[in-house]
Structure 1
Protein backbone atom coordinates (compact mmCIF):
# COMPACT_ATOMS: atom_id res chain seq x y z
CA UNK A 1 0.00 0.00 0.00
CA UNK A 2 1.35 3.38 -0.99
CA UNK A 3 1.67 5.77 1.89
CA UNK A 4 0.90 9.48 1.65
CA UNK A 5 2.06 12.34 3.87
CA UNK A 6 -1.32 12.24 5.61
CA UNK A 7 -1.35 8.48 6.24
CA UNK A 8 -1.37 6.99 9.72
CA UNK A 9 2.18 5.71 9.64
CA UNK A 10 4.11 7.01 12.68
CA UNK A 11 7.64 8.17 12.08
CA UNK A 12 10.33 8.03 14.75
CA UNK A 13 10.05 10.76 17.38
CA UNK A 14 13.26 12.49 16.26
CA UNK A 15 11.70 12.92 12.79
CA UNK A 16 8.30 14.08 14.03
CA UNK A 17 9.61 17.00 16.12
CA UNK A 18 10.03 19.49 13.24
CA UNK A 19 6.53 18.72 11.96
CA UNK A 20 5.03 19.17 15.41
CA UNK A 21 6.80 22.51 15.78
CA UNK A 22 5.33 23.78 12.50
CA UNK A 23 1.89 22.46 13.47
CA UNK A 24 2.14 24.37 16.76
CA UNK A 25 3.12 27.44 14.78
CA UNK A 26 0.02 27.30 12.61
CA UNK A 27 -2.20 26.44 15.56
CA UNK A 28 -1.01 29.37 17.61
CA UNK A 29 -1.99 31.97 15.02
CA UNK A 30 -5.73 32.17 15.76
CA UNK A 31 -5.01 32.53 19.48
CA UNK A 32 -2.62 35.44 18.97
CA UNK A 33 -4.70 37.14 16.28
CA UNK A 34 -7.92 36.67 18.22
CA UNK A 35 -6.85 38.40 21.40
CA UNK A 36 -9.84 40.30 22.70
CA UNK A 37 -9.56 44.09 22.44
CA UNK A 38 -10.03 46.18 25.58
CA UNK A 39 -13.60 47.12 26.41
CA UNK A 40 -12.78 50.82 26.56
CA UNK A 41 -12.32 53.08 23.54
CA UNK A 42 -8.90 53.22 21.98
CA UNK A 43 -6.84 55.85 23.85
CA UNK A 44 -5.50 57.23 20.58
CA UNK A 45 -8.90 58.54 19.45
CA UNK A 46 -8.01 61.60 17.36
CA UNK A 47 -11.10 63.57 18.36
CA UNK A 48 -10.40 63.07 22.04
CA UNK A 49 -6.81 64.28 21.70
CA UNK A 50 -7.84 67.30 19.61
CA UNK A 51 -10.37 68.28 22.26
CA UNK A 52 -7.74 68.09 25.02
CA UNK A 53 -5.27 70.14 22.95
CA UNK A 54 -7.91 72.82 22.36
CA UNK A 55 -8.62 72.97 26.09
CA UNK A 56 -4.91 73.36 26.87
CA UNK A 57 -4.49 76.22 24.39
CA UNK A 58 -7.59 77.95 25.77
CA UNK A 59 -6.41 77.64 29.36
CA UNK A 60 -2.92 78.74 28.33
CA UNK A 61 -4.28 82.08 27.17
CA UNK A 62 -6.63 82.58 30.11
CA UNK A 63 -4.24 81.50 32.86
CA UNK A 64 -1.15 83.55 32.14
CA UNK A 65 0.51 81.47 29.44
CA UNK A 66 2.65 78.34 29.24
CA UNK A 67 0.96 75.72 31.39
CA UNK A 68 4.15 73.67 31.35
CA UNK A 69 2.83 70.78 33.46
CA UNK A 70 -0.16 70.27 31.17
CA UNK A 71 2.11 70.32 28.14
CA UNK A 72 4.47 67.87 29.81
CA UNK A 73 1.59 65.47 30.44
CA UNK A 74 0.50 65.96 26.83
CA UNK A 75 4.03 65.00 25.79
CA UNK A 76 3.80 61.82 27.87
CA UNK A 77 0.52 60.98 26.12
CA UNK A 78 2.22 61.35 22.74
CA UNK A 79 5.12 59.10 23.82
CA UNK A 80 2.68 56.42 25.04
CA UNK A 81 0.56 56.57 21.88
CA UNK A 82 3.62 56.46 19.61
CA UNK A 83 4.80 53.36 21.45
CA UNK A 84 1.41 51.73 20.94
CA UNK A 85 1.56 52.48 17.19
CA UNK A 86 5.04 50.96 16.86
CA UNK A 87 3.98 47.82 18.73
CA UNK A 88 0.86 47.54 16.59
CA UNK A 89 2.96 47.70 13.42
CA UNK A 90 5.41 45.08 14.76
CA UNK A 91 2.53 42.83 15.75
CA UNK A 92 0.93 43.12 12.32
CA UNK A 93 4.21 42.23 10.62
CA UNK A 94 4.81 39.21 12.88
CA UNK A 95 1.27 37.93 12.40
CA UNK A 96 1.66 38.28 8.65
CA UNK A 97 4.73 36.04 8.70
CA UNK A 98 2.96 33.36 10.71
CA UNK A 99 -0.14 33.57 8.51
CA UNK A 100 2.05 33.04 5.44
CA UNK A 101 3.72 30.00 7.00
CA UNK A 102 0.36 28.55 8.01
CA UNK A 103 -0.97 29.12 4.48
CA UNK A 104 2.05 27.41 2.97
CA UNK A 105 1.51 24.38 5.19
CA UNK A 106 -2.16 24.25 4.21
CA UNK A 107 -1.33 24.44 0.49
CA UNK A 108 1.08 21.52 0.80
CA UNK A 109 -1.62 19.43 2.42
CA UNK A 110 -0.18 19.78 5.89
CA UNK A 111 2.77 17.66 4.83
CA UNK A 112 5.12 16.59 7.59
CA UNK A 113 8.55 18.10 6.76
CA UNK A 114 10.21 14.89 7.91
CA UNK A 115 8.33 13.01 5.16
CA UNK A 116 9.68 15.39 2.55
CA UNK A 117 13.19 14.86 3.89
CA UNK A 118 12.90 11.09 3.82
CA UNK A 119 11.51 11.11 0.28
CA UNK A 120 14.52 13.07 -0.96
CA UNK A 121 16.24 11.69 -4.04
CA UNK A 122 19.50 11.84 -2.15
CA UNK A 123 19.13 9.96 1.20
CA UNK A 124 22.70 10.92 2.10
CA UNK A 125 21.46 14.50 2.64
CA UNK A 126 18.61 13.44 4.92
CA UNK A 127 20.43 14.23 8.18
CA UNK A 128 21.57 17.72 7.13
CA UNK A 129 18.16 18.53 5.64
CA UNK A 130 16.41 17.35 8.78
CA UNK A 131 18.68 19.56 10.89
CA UNK A 132 17.74 22.52 8.72
CA UNK A 133 14.01 21.79 9.03
CA UNK A 134 14.37 21.45 12.80
CA UNK A 135 16.23 24.77 12.97
CA UNK A 136 13.56 26.54 10.89
CA UNK A 137 10.76 25.03 12.97
CA UNK A 138 12.38 26.12 16.23
CA UNK A 139 12.87 29.66 14.92
CA UNK A 140 9.25 29.83 13.80
CA UNK A 141 8.06 28.51 17.13
CA UNK A 142 10.00 31.37 18.72
CA UNK A 143 8.17 33.70 16.32
CA UNK A 144 4.86 32.56 17.80
CA UNK A 145 6.16 33.28 21.30
CA UNK A 146 7.28 36.71 20.09
CA UNK A 147 3.75 37.40 18.82
CA UNK A 148 2.27 36.61 22.21
CA UNK A 149 4.87 38.88 23.81
CA UNK A 150 3.94 41.68 21.41
CA UNK A 151 0.25 41.18 22.18
CA UNK A 152 0.96 41.51 25.90
CA UNK A 153 3.19 44.55 25.40
CA UNK A 154 0.62 46.24 23.19
CA UNK A 155 -2.16 45.73 25.71
CA UNK A 156 0.09 47.13 28.45
CA UNK A 157 0.99 50.11 26.26
CA UNK A 158 -2.69 50.80 25.58
CA UNK A 159 -3.45 50.77 29.29
CA UNK A 160 -0.53 53.12 29.98
CA UNK A 161 -1.64 55.53 27.24
CA UNK A 162 -5.20 55.50 28.57
CA UNK A 163 -3.90 56.26 32.08
CA UNK A 164 -1.79 59.17 30.77
CA UNK A 165 -4.82 60.63 28.99
CA UNK A 166 -6.90 60.31 32.17
CA UNK A 167 -4.15 62.13 34.09
CA UNK A 168 -4.23 64.95 31.54
CA UNK A 169 -8.02 65.16 31.74
CA UNK A 170 -7.84 65.31 35.55
CA UNK A 171 -5.21 68.07 35.49
CA UNK A 172 -7.43 70.11 33.16
CA UNK A 173 -10.46 69.57 35.42
CA UNK A 174 -8.45 70.59 38.48
CA UNK A 175 -7.32 73.83 36.80
CA UNK A 176 -10.85 74.64 35.69
CA UNK A 177 -12.07 74.21 39.28
CA UNK A 178 -9.44 76.75 40.39
CA UNK A 179 -10.48 79.23 37.69
CA UNK A 180 -11.40 82.10 40.04
CA UNK A 181 -8.25 81.82 42.15
CA UNK A 182 -5.93 81.54 39.16
CA UNK A 183 -7.53 84.44 37.30
CA UNK A 184 -7.16 86.59 40.41
CA UNK A 185 -3.49 85.57 40.55
CA UNK A 186 -2.96 86.39 36.88
CA UNK A 187 -4.77 89.73 37.25
CA UNK A 188 -2.29 90.73 39.96
CA UNK A 189 0.51 90.82 37.40
CA UNK A 190 -0.05 93.18 34.50
CA UNK A 191 1.39 91.74 31.25
CA UNK A 192 4.73 93.26 30.29
CA UNK A 193 6.30 93.82 26.90
CA UNK A 194 9.59 92.21 25.87
CA UNK A 195 12.43 94.71 26.28
CA UNK A 196 15.31 95.94 24.17
CA UNK A 197 18.71 96.44 25.77
CA UNK A 198 18.05 94.03 28.66
CA UNK A 199 18.72 90.83 26.80
CA UNK A 200 15.13 90.63 25.59
CA UNK A 201 13.67 89.82 29.02
CA UNK A 202 10.70 91.61 30.56
CA UNK A 203 11.27 93.98 33.49
CA UNK A 204 9.65 91.45 35.82
CA UNK A 205 11.98 88.66 34.69
CA UNK A 206 14.96 90.98 34.99
CA UNK A 207 13.98 91.84 38.55
CA UNK A 208 13.62 88.15 39.46
CA UNK A 209 16.93 87.32 37.75
CA UNK A 210 18.83 90.06 39.56
CA UNK A 211 17.26 89.21 42.92
CA UNK A 212 18.21 85.51 42.60
CA UNK A 213 21.69 86.31 41.29
CA UNK A 214 22.39 88.58 44.26
CA UNK A 215 21.19 85.94 46.72
CA UNK A 216 22.80 82.80 45.26
CA UNK A 217 25.20 83.82 42.49
CA UNK A 218 27.46 83.67 40.80
CA UNK A 219 26.09 80.90 38.57
CA UNK A 220 28.20 79.32 35.82
CA UNK A 221 25.79 81.08 33.46
CA UNK A 222 22.23 82.37 33.28
CA UNK A 223 20.38 81.90 30.00
CA UNK A 224 17.23 83.89 29.34
CA UNK A 225 15.93 85.06 25.97
CA UNK A 226 16.04 82.55 23.11
CA UNK A 227 13.90 81.32 20.26
CA UNK A 228 13.19 77.84 18.93
CA UNK A 229 10.41 75.28 18.86
CA UNK A 230 10.61 74.48 22.60
CA UNK A 231 11.51 77.99 23.79
CA UNK A 232 8.09 78.65 25.37
CA UNK A 233 8.46 81.49 27.94
CA UNK A 234 12.07 82.07 26.88
CA UNK A 235 10.80 83.37 23.55
CA UNK A 236 8.73 86.09 25.22
CA UNK A 237 11.43 87.10 27.70
CA UNK A 238 9.54 85.59 30.62
CA UNK A 239 11.99 82.83 31.59
CA UNK A 240 15.59 82.28 32.64
CA UNK A 241 17.67 79.16 33.21
CA UNK A 242 20.00 79.34 36.20
CA UNK A 243 22.77 76.85 35.37
CA UNK A 244 24.48 75.06 38.25
CA UNK A 245 26.79 72.97 36.04
CA UNK A 246 28.02 73.16 32.45
CA UNK A 247 28.46 70.87 29.47
CA UNK A 248 25.40 68.79 30.25
CA UNK A 249 27.06 67.25 33.31
CA UNK A 250 25.36 66.46 36.59
CA UNK A 251 26.10 69.16 39.18
CA UNK A 252 28.40 68.64 42.13
CA UNK A 253 27.02 68.55 45.66
CA UNK A 254 27.58 72.31 45.89
CA UNK A 255 25.87 72.84 42.55
CA UNK A 256 22.85 70.81 43.60
CA UNK A 257 22.64 72.75 46.88
CA UNK A 258 22.75 76.00 44.89
CA UNK A 259 19.90 74.73 42.72
CA UNK A 260 17.87 73.62 45.74
CA UNK A 261 18.28 77.04 47.35
CA UNK A 262 17.40 78.86 44.14
CA UNK A 263 14.23 76.84 43.61
CA UNK A 264 13.13 77.21 47.23
CA UNK A 265 13.78 80.98 47.16
CA UNK A 266 11.81 81.41 43.93
CA UNK A 267 8.81 79.56 45.39
CA UNK A 268 8.95 81.42 48.71
CA UNK A 269 9.16 84.80 46.93
CA UNK A 270 6.85 83.99 44.04
CA UNK A 271 4.22 86.54 45.04
CA UNK A 272 6.74 89.37 45.39
CA UNK A 273 8.61 88.57 42.17
CA UNK A 274 5.66 87.50 40.03
CA UNK A 275 7.02 84.00 39.46
CA UNK A 276 4.73 81.66 37.55
CA UNK A 277 6.50 78.32 37.86
CA UNK A 278 9.83 76.67 38.70
CA UNK A 279 11.31 73.52 37.12
CA UNK A 280 14.17 71.70 38.85
CA UNK A 281 15.35 68.09 38.79
CA UNK A 282 12.54 66.75 36.57
CA UNK A 283 9.86 68.33 38.76
CA UNK A 284 7.69 71.40 38.37
CA UNK A 285 6.15 73.75 40.93
CA UNK A 286 3.43 75.88 39.31
CA UNK A 287 1.91 78.71 41.40
CA UNK A 288 -1.41 78.15 39.59
CA UNK A 289 -1.47 74.57 40.86
CA UNK A 290 0.90 74.59 43.86
CA UNK A 291 3.04 71.62 44.84
CA UNK A 292 5.96 69.74 43.33
CA UNK A 293 4.99 67.34 40.56
CA UNK A 294 7.17 64.97 38.59
CA UNK A 295 7.68 65.45 34.86
CA UNK A 296 8.16 63.10 31.93
CA UNK A 297 11.66 61.83 31.23
CA UNK A 298 13.07 63.79 28.27
CA UNK A 299 16.22 61.67 28.10
CA UNK A 300 19.00 63.99 29.21
CA UNK A 301 20.52 65.95 32.10
CA UNK A 302 19.66 69.34 30.62
CA UNK A 303 16.30 68.33 29.14
CA UNK A 304 15.26 67.01 32.55
CA UNK A 305 16.49 70.15 34.34
CA UNK A 306 19.10 68.45 36.52
CA UNK A 307 21.78 71.01 35.66
CA UNK A 308 19.70 74.17 35.87
CA UNK A 309 16.70 75.76 37.55
CA UNK A 310 14.15 77.09 35.08
CA UNK A 311 12.13 80.04 36.34
CA UNK A 312 9.20 81.60 34.47
CA UNK A 313 7.34 84.77 35.43
CA UNK A 314 3.89 86.07 34.62
Structure 2
Protein backbone atom coordinates (compact mmCIF):
# COMPACT_ATOMS: atom_id res chain seq x y z
CA UNK A 1 0.00 0.00 0.00
CA UNK A 2 2.79 2.39 0.93
CA UNK A 3 4.66 1.55 -2.28
CA UNK A 4 1.53 2.12 -4.30
CA UNK A 5 1.02 5.58 -2.74
CA UNK A 6 4.66 6.49 -3.37
CA UNK A 7 4.39 5.54 -7.05
CA UNK A 8 1.21 7.57 -7.42
CA UNK A 9 2.86 10.62 -5.85
CA UNK A 10 5.88 10.35 -8.19
CA UNK A 11 3.58 10.06 -11.21
CA UNK A 12 1.56 13.11 -10.14
CA UNK A 13 4.72 15.13 -9.66
CA UNK A 14 5.95 14.18 -13.14
CA UNK A 15 2.65 15.17 -14.76
CA UNK A 16 2.61 18.47 -12.88
CA UNK A 17 6.18 19.28 -13.96
CA UNK A 18 5.46 18.42 -17.60
CA UNK A 19 2.35 20.60 -17.58
CA UNK A 20 4.31 23.47 -16.12
CA UNK A 21 7.00 23.17 -18.79
CA UNK A 22 4.45 23.03 -21.60
CA UNK A 23 2.55 26.00 -20.25
CA UNK A 24 5.65 28.10 -19.78
CA UNK A 25 6.77 27.85 -23.43
CA UNK A 26 9.83 29.78 -24.70
CA UNK A 27 10.91 32.90 -22.88
CA UNK A 28 9.28 35.98 -24.41
CA UNK A 29 11.54 38.44 -26.24
CA UNK A 30 12.64 41.55 -24.40
CA UNK A 31 10.75 44.78 -25.12
CA UNK A 32 12.39 47.13 -27.60
CA UNK A 33 14.56 49.64 -25.71
CA UNK A 34 14.29 52.06 -28.63
CA UNK A 35 10.60 52.66 -28.07
CA UNK A 36 8.05 52.78 -30.86
CA UNK A 37 5.58 49.99 -31.54
CA UNK A 38 5.21 46.97 -33.75
CA UNK A 39 2.37 48.69 -35.61
CA UNK A 40 4.45 51.79 -36.28
CA UNK A 41 7.42 49.80 -37.54
CA UNK A 42 5.23 47.68 -39.80
CA UNK A 43 3.71 50.82 -41.30
CA UNK A 44 7.12 52.42 -41.83
CA UNK A 45 8.49 49.26 -43.44
CA UNK A 46 5.51 48.96 -45.78
CA UNK A 47 5.83 52.61 -46.79
CA UNK A 48 9.58 52.47 -47.35
CA UNK A 49 9.62 49.13 -49.15
CA UNK A 50 6.64 50.05 -51.33
CA UNK A 51 8.22 53.36 -52.31
CA UNK A 52 11.58 51.78 -53.18
CA UNK A 53 9.93 49.04 -55.27
CA UNK A 54 7.76 51.57 -57.13
CA UNK A 55 10.79 53.76 -57.78
CA UNK A 56 12.70 50.79 -59.18
CA UNK A 57 9.79 49.89 -61.48
CA UNK A 58 9.50 53.52 -62.56
CA UNK A 59 13.18 53.63 -63.47
CA UNK A 60 12.95 50.35 -65.38
CA UNK A 61 9.93 51.62 -67.31
CA UNK A 62 11.69 54.87 -68.19
CA UNK A 63 14.67 52.87 -69.46
CA UNK A 64 12.40 50.70 -71.61
CA UNK A 65 10.65 53.80 -72.94
CA UNK A 66 13.99 55.30 -73.96
CA UNK A 67 14.87 52.13 -75.86
CA UNK A 68 11.45 52.08 -77.51
CA UNK A 69 11.80 55.72 -78.51
CA UNK A 70 15.06 54.82 -80.25
CA UNK A 71 13.36 51.89 -82.03
CA UNK A 72 10.49 54.15 -83.05
CA UNK A 73 12.83 56.79 -84.46
CA UNK A 74 14.77 54.19 -86.47
CA UNK A 75 11.54 52.75 -87.91
CA UNK A 76 10.22 56.20 -88.79
CA UNK A 77 13.47 57.16 -90.58
CA UNK A 78 13.47 53.91 -92.55
CA UNK A 79 9.83 54.34 -93.53
CA UNK A 80 10.56 57.90 -94.68
CA UNK A 81 13.50 56.75 -96.78
CA UNK A 82 11.41 54.01 -98.42
CA UNK A 83 8.59 56.37 -99.33
CA UNK A 84 10.47 57.47 -102.49
CA UNK A 85 10.92 53.87 -103.65
CA UNK A 86 7.31 53.04 -102.90
CA UNK A 87 6.17 56.07 -104.85
CA UNK A 88 8.31 54.96 -107.83
CA UNK A 89 6.82 51.48 -107.66
CA UNK A 90 3.33 52.92 -107.63
CA UNK A 91 4.09 55.15 -110.62
CA UNK A 92 5.64 52.32 -112.60
CA UNK A 93 2.71 50.05 -111.85
CA UNK A 94 0.37 52.75 -113.11
CA UNK A 95 2.31 53.17 -116.36
CA UNK A 96 2.69 49.43 -117.00
CA UNK A 97 -0.93 48.93 -116.24
CA UNK A 98 -1.83 51.25 -119.12
CA UNK A 99 0.83 49.93 -121.49
CA UNK A 100 0.30 46.23 -120.72
CA UNK A 101 3.37 44.21 -119.79
CA UNK A 102 2.55 41.44 -122.28
CA UNK A 103 2.44 43.95 -125.13
CA UNK A 104 5.88 45.17 -124.10
CA UNK A 105 7.22 41.64 -124.41
CA UNK A 106 5.45 40.81 -127.67
CA UNK A 107 6.83 43.94 -129.33
CA UNK A 108 10.36 42.69 -128.82
CA UNK A 109 12.28 42.77 -132.13
CA UNK A 110 14.14 39.52 -131.47
CA UNK A 111 14.23 36.55 -129.12
CA UNK A 112 17.23 38.07 -127.37
CA UNK A 113 15.37 41.33 -126.78
CA UNK A 114 12.36 39.34 -125.50
CA UNK A 115 14.52 37.49 -122.97
CA UNK A 116 16.30 40.69 -121.93
CA UNK A 117 13.01 42.49 -121.31
CA UNK A 118 11.65 39.50 -119.42
CA UNK A 119 14.70 39.43 -117.12
CA UNK A 120 14.48 43.18 -116.53
CA UNK A 121 10.80 42.92 -115.61
CA UNK A 122 11.56 40.01 -113.24
CA UNK A 123 14.35 41.93 -111.52
CA UNK A 124 12.17 45.01 -111.27
CA UNK A 125 9.37 42.97 -109.71
CA UNK A 126 11.76 41.51 -107.13
CA UNK A 127 13.12 44.93 -106.21
CA UNK A 128 9.64 46.37 -105.98
CA UNK A 129 8.52 43.48 -103.79
CA UNK A 130 11.44 43.93 -101.40
CA UNK A 131 10.88 47.66 -101.16
CA UNK A 132 7.19 47.20 -100.40
CA UNK A 133 7.92 44.48 -97.81
CA UNK A 134 10.51 46.64 -96.03
CA UNK A 135 8.12 49.57 -96.09
CA UNK A 136 5.30 47.53 -94.58
CA UNK A 137 7.67 46.20 -91.90
CA UNK A 138 8.86 49.72 -91.04
CA UNK A 139 5.29 50.95 -90.72
CA UNK A 140 4.38 47.96 -88.53
CA UNK A 141 7.43 48.54 -86.33
CA UNK A 142 6.47 52.19 -85.96
CA UNK A 143 2.92 51.30 -84.93
CA UNK A 144 4.11 48.65 -82.46
CA UNK A 145 6.71 50.96 -80.89
CA UNK A 146 4.17 53.76 -80.47
CA UNK A 147 1.77 51.40 -78.70
CA UNK A 148 4.55 50.10 -76.43
CA UNK A 149 5.62 53.64 -75.52
CA UNK A 150 2.03 54.41 -74.58
CA UNK A 151 1.94 51.39 -72.25
CA UNK A 152 5.19 52.45 -70.58
CA UNK A 153 3.82 55.93 -69.97
CA UNK A 154 0.79 54.40 -68.26
CA UNK A 155 3.09 52.18 -66.17
CA UNK A 156 5.09 55.21 -65.09
CA UNK A 157 1.94 57.09 -64.10
CA UNK A 158 0.90 54.06 -62.03
CA UNK A 159 4.23 53.88 -60.18
CA UNK A 160 4.27 57.63 -59.51
CA UNK A 161 0.85 57.22 -57.91
CA UNK A 162 2.14 54.34 -55.78
CA UNK A 163 5.09 56.43 -54.62
CA UNK A 164 2.78 59.28 -53.64
CA UNK A 165 0.56 56.83 -51.75
CA UNK A 166 3.48 55.33 -49.84
CA UNK A 167 4.76 58.77 -48.94
CA UNK A 168 1.34 59.62 -47.52
CA UNK A 169 1.27 56.37 -45.55
CA UNK A 170 4.65 57.18 -44.00
CA UNK A 171 3.49 60.67 -43.05
CA UNK A 172 0.33 59.30 -41.43
CA UNK A 173 2.30 56.68 -39.48
CA UNK A 174 4.74 59.27 -38.15
CA UNK A 175 1.96 61.73 -37.34
CA UNK A 176 0.25 59.04 -35.25
CA UNK A 177 3.14 59.24 -32.77
CA UNK A 178 3.51 63.00 -32.85
CA UNK A 179 6.13 63.24 -35.61
CA UNK A 180 6.15 63.65 -39.36
CA UNK A 181 6.85 67.35 -39.77
CA UNK A 182 9.58 68.32 -42.22
CA UNK A 183 12.95 68.42 -40.49
CA UNK A 184 16.32 69.89 -41.37
CA UNK A 185 17.97 66.51 -41.43
CA UNK A 186 21.58 65.51 -41.82
CA UNK A 187 23.18 65.74 -45.25
CA UNK A 188 26.83 65.48 -46.22
CA UNK A 189 27.81 66.39 -49.76
CA UNK A 190 31.33 65.12 -49.10
CA UNK A 191 30.25 61.74 -47.70
CA UNK A 192 32.21 58.93 -49.39
CA UNK A 193 30.44 56.51 -51.71
CA UNK A 194 29.78 52.98 -50.49
CA UNK A 195 30.24 49.78 -52.45
CA UNK A 196 26.77 48.86 -53.76
CA UNK A 197 25.04 45.75 -52.45
CA UNK A 198 24.11 43.13 -55.09
CA UNK A 199 20.78 43.57 -56.90
CA UNK A 200 18.67 41.34 -59.14
CA UNK A 201 19.12 41.58 -62.90
CA UNK A 202 16.07 43.87 -63.14
CA UNK A 203 17.45 46.25 -60.52
CA UNK A 204 15.24 45.11 -57.63
CA UNK A 205 16.56 44.01 -54.24
CA UNK A 206 16.76 40.24 -53.71
CA UNK A 207 14.91 38.84 -50.72
CA UNK A 208 17.34 38.03 -47.92
CA UNK A 209 17.15 36.30 -44.57
CA UNK A 210 19.27 36.34 -41.44
CA UNK A 211 21.92 33.98 -42.84
CA UNK A 212 25.37 35.42 -42.11
CA UNK A 213 27.19 35.81 -38.79
CA UNK A 214 26.76 39.16 -37.10
CA UNK A 215 30.25 40.53 -36.33
CA UNK A 216 28.81 42.54 -33.42
CA UNK A 217 27.05 39.70 -31.58
CA UNK A 218 26.49 35.97 -31.53
CA UNK A 219 23.45 36.32 -33.76
CA UNK A 220 22.92 36.64 -37.49
CA UNK A 221 22.20 39.40 -40.02
CA UNK A 222 21.37 39.62 -43.72
CA UNK A 223 24.14 39.86 -46.33
CA UNK A 224 22.88 43.34 -47.28
CA UNK A 225 23.17 44.61 -43.70
CA UNK A 226 26.64 43.09 -43.42
CA UNK A 227 27.68 45.06 -46.50
CA UNK A 228 26.30 48.30 -45.00
CA UNK A 229 28.12 47.64 -41.72
CA UNK A 230 31.39 46.88 -43.49
CA UNK A 231 31.10 49.90 -45.77
CA UNK A 232 30.46 52.21 -42.82
CA UNK A 233 33.57 50.91 -41.08
CA UNK A 234 35.60 51.28 -44.27
CA UNK A 235 34.44 54.91 -44.40
CA UNK A 236 35.85 55.49 -40.89
CA UNK A 237 32.78 54.92 -38.70
CA UNK A 238 34.28 52.35 -36.35
CA UNK A 239 32.72 53.12 -32.98
CA UNK A 240 30.79 50.49 -31.05
CA UNK A 241 27.93 48.93 -33.00
CA UNK A 242 25.20 46.44 -32.08
CA UNK A 243 23.11 44.72 -34.76
CA UNK A 244 21.24 41.50 -33.97
CA UNK A 245 19.34 41.28 -30.69
CA UNK A 246 16.26 39.49 -29.38
CA UNK A 247 13.43 42.01 -29.17
CA UNK A 248 9.67 41.96 -29.34
CA UNK A 249 9.53 43.87 -32.65
CA UNK A 250 11.57 45.75 -35.21
CA UNK A 251 14.34 44.74 -37.58
CA UNK A 252 17.03 43.86 -35.02
CA UNK A 253 15.71 40.32 -34.37
CA UNK A 254 15.38 39.86 -38.15
CA UNK A 255 19.00 40.79 -38.72
CA UNK A 256 18.10 43.90 -40.71
CA UNK A 257 19.15 46.68 -38.33
CA UNK A 258 22.19 48.05 -36.52
CA UNK A 259 22.64 50.68 -33.81
CA UNK A 260 25.83 52.75 -34.11
CA UNK A 261 26.94 54.41 -30.87
CA UNK A 262 27.76 58.10 -31.14
CA UNK A 263 30.21 58.09 -28.22
CA UNK A 264 33.60 56.46 -28.59
CA UNK A 265 32.99 54.47 -25.39
CA UNK A 266 29.70 52.94 -26.57
CA UNK A 267 26.07 53.67 -25.73
CA UNK A 268 25.85 56.40 -23.10
CA UNK A 269 22.71 57.28 -21.19
CA UNK A 270 22.82 60.90 -22.32
CA UNK A 271 22.33 62.95 -25.46
CA UNK A 272 25.38 63.10 -27.72
CA UNK A 273 27.11 66.45 -27.90
CA UNK A 274 30.28 67.99 -29.29
CA UNK A 275 32.38 65.59 -31.33
CA UNK A 276 30.02 62.69 -30.61
CA UNK A 277 27.11 64.64 -32.10
CA UNK A 278 29.21 65.48 -35.16
CA UNK A 279 30.11 61.80 -35.52
CA UNK A 280 26.42 60.86 -35.46
CA UNK A 281 25.54 63.63 -37.93
CA UNK A 282 28.20 62.45 -40.37
CA UNK A 283 27.22 58.79 -40.06
CA UNK A 284 23.52 59.54 -40.64
CA UNK A 285 24.44 61.65 -43.66
CA UNK A 286 26.64 58.84 -44.98
CA UNK A 287 23.78 56.34 -44.90
CA UNK A 288 21.39 58.78 -46.56
CA UNK A 289 23.81 59.59 -49.39
CA UNK A 290 24.34 55.87 -50.00
CA UNK A 291 20.74 54.80 -49.40
CA UNK A 292 20.23 53.60 -52.97
CA UNK A 293 23.55 51.75 -52.95
CA UNK A 294 23.03 50.02 -49.62
CA UNK A 295 19.28 49.38 -49.71
CA UNK A 296 18.41 51.65 -46.77
CA UNK A 297 14.88 51.37 -45.37
CA UNK A 298 15.26 54.20 -42.90
CA UNK A 299 17.76 56.01 -40.68
CA UNK A 300 16.91 57.44 -37.24
CA UNK A 301 19.10 59.95 -35.47
CA UNK A 302 18.52 62.70 -32.92
CA UNK A 303 14.70 62.75 -33.00
CA UNK A 304 14.59 62.62 -36.80
CA UNK A 305 13.94 59.84 -39.28
CA UNK A 306 14.95 59.62 -42.92
CA UNK A 307 12.93 57.51 -45.36
CA UNK A 308 13.23 57.18 -49.16
CA UNK A 309 9.75 58.60 -49.67
CA UNK A 310 9.81 61.51 -47.24
CA UNK A 311 13.36 62.64 -46.62
CA UNK A 312 14.13 63.81 -43.08
CA UNK A 313 11.10 64.11 -40.80
CA UNK A 314 10.59 64.67 -37.09
CA UNK A 315 10.48 61.44 -35.07
CA UNK A 316 9.15 61.81 -31.56
CA UNK A 317 10.40 59.07 -29.31
CA UNK A 318 9.45 59.18 -25.65
CA UNK A 319 11.93 58.19 -23.00
CA UNK A 320 15.68 58.32 -22.61
CA UNK A 321 18.45 58.69 -25.19
CA UNK A 322 17.83 55.19 -26.57
CA UNK A 323 14.19 55.90 -27.38
CA UNK A 324 14.88 59.36 -28.81
CA UNK A 325 17.92 58.06 -30.71
CA UNK A 326 20.11 60.83 -29.38
CA UNK A 327 22.95 58.53 -28.36
CA UNK A 328 23.06 56.27 -31.42
CA UNK A 329 22.27 56.16 -35.14
CA UNK A 330 19.73 53.49 -36.08
CA UNK A 331 19.95 51.90 -39.52
CA UNK A 332 17.32 49.59 -40.99
CA UNK A 333 17.97 47.82 -44.28
CA UNK A 334 15.43 46.54 -46.80
User: Normalising to structure 2: TM-score of the pair?
Assistant: 0.39
In our comparison, the structure showing a higher alpha carbon Rg is 2
Higher relative contact order (CA 8 A, sep 6+): 2
- Give the structure-1-normalised TM-score: 0.42
